[in-house]
């Protein structure tokens, strides 16, 4: 029969694992996540987004897009310019 300290040790290990794994996955997946709300970079919002008049643009929960700032450059291959200083994954 396992000892009480062994059981507590296993529970702590599982708790630690249950906290670390989702954080690690979120950290890896963060750049490719779709955004419902993005900061307003220019005078207009990207295509498919609505101006919230608080410095943010939103899809209003209808859909989500993978967007990233274009930084004044042409969008990379596989991305299209949607205005407002953003590129969207095709």
Task: Give pLDDT tens digits for 44-73.
Answer: 999 999 999 999 999 998 888 999 999 999
pLDDT in the model for residue 62: 87
pTM for this entry: 0.61
58, 64, 65, 67 alpha-carbon torsion, rounded to 10°: 50
pLDDT in the model for residue 34: 86
Task: Give pLDDT tens digits for 4-48.
Answer: 666 666 766 555 546 544 544 444 434 446 899 999 999 999 999
Cβ atoms of 59 and 48 within 8 Å: the answer is yes
Strand order in the sheet with 37-39: 37-39, 56-58, 50-51
Question: Which tokens in the block code for residue 25?
Answer: 């996955």
Q: How many residues does the chain have?
A: 90
Cβ atoms of 46 and 69 within 8 Å: the answer is no
């Amino acid at each position: 029969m396992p000892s009480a300290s062994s059981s507590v040790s296993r529970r702590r290990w599982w708790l630690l694992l249950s906290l670390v794994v989702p954080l690690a996955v979120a950290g890896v997946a963060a750049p490719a996540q779709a955004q419902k709300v993005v900061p307003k970079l220019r005078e207009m919002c990207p295509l498919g987004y609505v101006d919230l008049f608080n410095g943010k643009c939103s899809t209003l929960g209808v859909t989500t897009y993978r967007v990233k700032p274009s930084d004044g450059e042409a969008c990379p291959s596989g991305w299209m310019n949607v205005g407002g200083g953003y590129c969207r994954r095709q």
